[in-house]
Amino acid sequence: MINTERLVQEFCELVSIDSTSFHERQMTDVLKKKMEELHMTVFEDQANHFYQSEAGNLYGFLKGNIPGKPLLFSSHMDTVEPGIGKKALIHEDGTIVSKGETVLGADDVAGIVAILESIRVLEENQIPHRDIEVLFPIAEEVYIQGSRVFDFEKIQSQEAYVLDISGPIGTASLQEPTLISFQIEVIGKSSHAGFAPEEGIHSIYIASQAIGQIKQGKVDEETTINIGKIQGGVATNIVPDRTIIEGEIRSYTHEKALSTLQNIIDIFETTTKLYQATYKETHIVHLHAYKVLENEKVVQRFLNVCQALDIPARLTKTFGGSDNNSFMSHGIKGIVLACGMNNVHTTKEYTTIHDLEKSTQIIFHLMKSEE
**15-42: pLDDT as tens digits:** 999 999 999 999 999 999 999 999 999 9
pLDDT reported for residue 101: 93
pLDDT tens-digit map of 226-253: 999 999 999 999 999 999 999 999 999 9
Q: Are residues 65 and 150 in the same domain?
A: yes
Q: Are residues 166 and 41 in the same domain?
A: yes
Residue of 24, 140, 176, 355 with catalytic role: 140
* Cβ–Cβ under 8 Å, residues 243 and 207: yes
Could you tell me what percent of the chain has a pLDDT over 90?
98
Q: Are residues 246 and 346 in the same domain?
A: no
pLDDT tens-digit map of 165-208: 999 999 999 999 999 999 999 999 999 999 999 999 999 999 99
Q: Are residues 141 and 212 in the same domain?
A: no
Nearest to 327 by CA among 75, 200, 171, 158: 158
Q: Are residues 42 and 133 in the same domain?
A: yes
Whether residue 370 has pLDDT greater than 90: no
Give the count of domains, the chain.
2
Per the annotation, the verdict on 140 as an active-site residue is: yes
Whether residue 68 has pLDDT greater than 90: no
Q: Are residues 71 and 142 in the same domain?
A: yes
CA distance 339 to 320: 16
Q: Are residues 34 and 143 in the same domain?
A: yes
Domain residues for the domain of 131 are 4-176+289-368
Neighbouring-strand partners of residue 172:
315, 337
Residue of 10, 24, 44, 78 with catalytic role: 78
Whether residue 371 has pLDDT greater than 90: no
Last residue of a domain, one of 235, 257, 287: 287
Per the annotation, the verdict on 241 as an active-site residue is: no
The 3-state DSSP composition of the chain as helix, strand, coil percent (nearest 5) reads: 35, 25, 40
Return the CATH number at 198. Answer: 3.30.70.360
